[in-house]
Copies of this chain bind each other. A is one copy, B any other.
Amino acid sequence: MKLATLNNGSRDGRLLLVSRDLTRALDAGHIAATLQLAIENWWSVEPELQALYRELNAGRAEGTFAFDPAAVMAPLPRAYQWCDGSAFLNHGALMQKAFHLDPIDGADTTPLMYQGAGDDFLGGRDDIALPSESQGIDFEGEFVVLVDEVPLGCSAEQAGDHIKLILQINDVSLRALAPREMKTGFGFLQAKPSSSFAAVAVTPDELGDAWRDGRVHLPLRVEWNGKWFGNPNGGAMNFSFPQLIAHAALTRRLGPGTLIGSGTVSNADRRVGSACIAELRAIEMIEHGAPQTGFMRFGDRVRMEVLDSDGQSLFGGIDQRVVAAAG
């Protein structure tokens, strides 16, 4: 099942069902007005949504319209919780080596995760408005899961059952601001402006065999200004999504609609490139002694795409520009 959120002028939009091939959409607001309401009542609304989704894909649903990825918001335009892991240890290892950082104690047994801001997500076609190019504007391609209510102390074994939807994001990062925030120990705040989400959230069954071991075993293709930048595979996560959820729920329950992210997708095979500029720069520092690639400039465009087994866009992709914030 594929779900999107129509931009109807409200803060939370209105729930849409989108056909598997992303060509047709259908209002689903009579079943649940918003994705947040759907996830809060998933056990009751999911069968009804699935039934309508079958009709939509079979071409039997009434009231469908052409699906426009530019007419939707992030599937969940704002979330009560957004926790982002750093589950690809290859990324951290490269950053450590490039910047001569001390290894983080226990990083291979306890996931790294930061609390992010969920109040103002962008759609995957929205411009990213930022105050200054000097802040080191970077993209980060990631996979994310959306969970229903997760009890305190939920184990990794139980956590998988709470994963209801899978999403694709661009976790925008401001690299010039990150080192100071990391050094304080308080974590990222100014360094992590609003993230952007691909058009549709999908149920795990949409991935078929590519969803296994709590991981998305698909390449994430990243283009920067129309040029290939990388296509690392999500299957290389050192911690699975259920492990990340269990980490977040160790000392508290997670409200329904919590988003848990993988961190930037990163593979040891350097031929597949990277999903963020910082990682390429780290590789350049290791290989050449200094970074050779700059960060994003205003007007730059980033495109991120995940294809399903039929070669079709799975999440509707991300295709957006960075622009100067007004004022």
Asked if A117 CB lies within 8 Å of chain B CBs, one says: yes
Q: Is the CB of B188 within 8 A of A105?
A: no
Q: Is the interface of A mostly helix, strand, loop or mixed?
A: loop
Q: How far is the CB of A118 from chain B (nearest CB, A)?
A: 6
Interface size range on A against B? 35 or more
Q: Is the CB of B184 within 8 A of A325?
A: no
B-binding segment of A163-171, A205-213, A231-239, A253-261: A253-261
Q: Is the CB of A255 within 8 A of B187?
A: no
Q: How far is the CB of A40 from chain B (nearest CB, A)?
A: 7
Smallest Cβ-Cβ distance to A110: which chain B residue: B180
Binary interface profile of A, 165-196, with partner B (CB < 8 Å = 1, else 0)?
Answer: 00000000010010011111111111111100
Some 20 contacts from A to B, beta carbons below 8 A apart, are A78-B255, A80-B80, A80-B118, A104-B184, A110-B180, A113-B186, A114-B115, A115-B115, A115-B116, A115-B187, A117-B252, A119-B258, A120-B253, A130-B251, A131-B250, A131-B251, A181-B187, A185-B187, A187-B187, A190-B247
Interface residues of A (CB under 8 A from B): 11, 40, 78-81, 83, 86, 104-107, 110, 112-120, 129-131, 135, 151-153, 174, 177, 180-194, 247-248, 250-255, 257-258, 325, 327
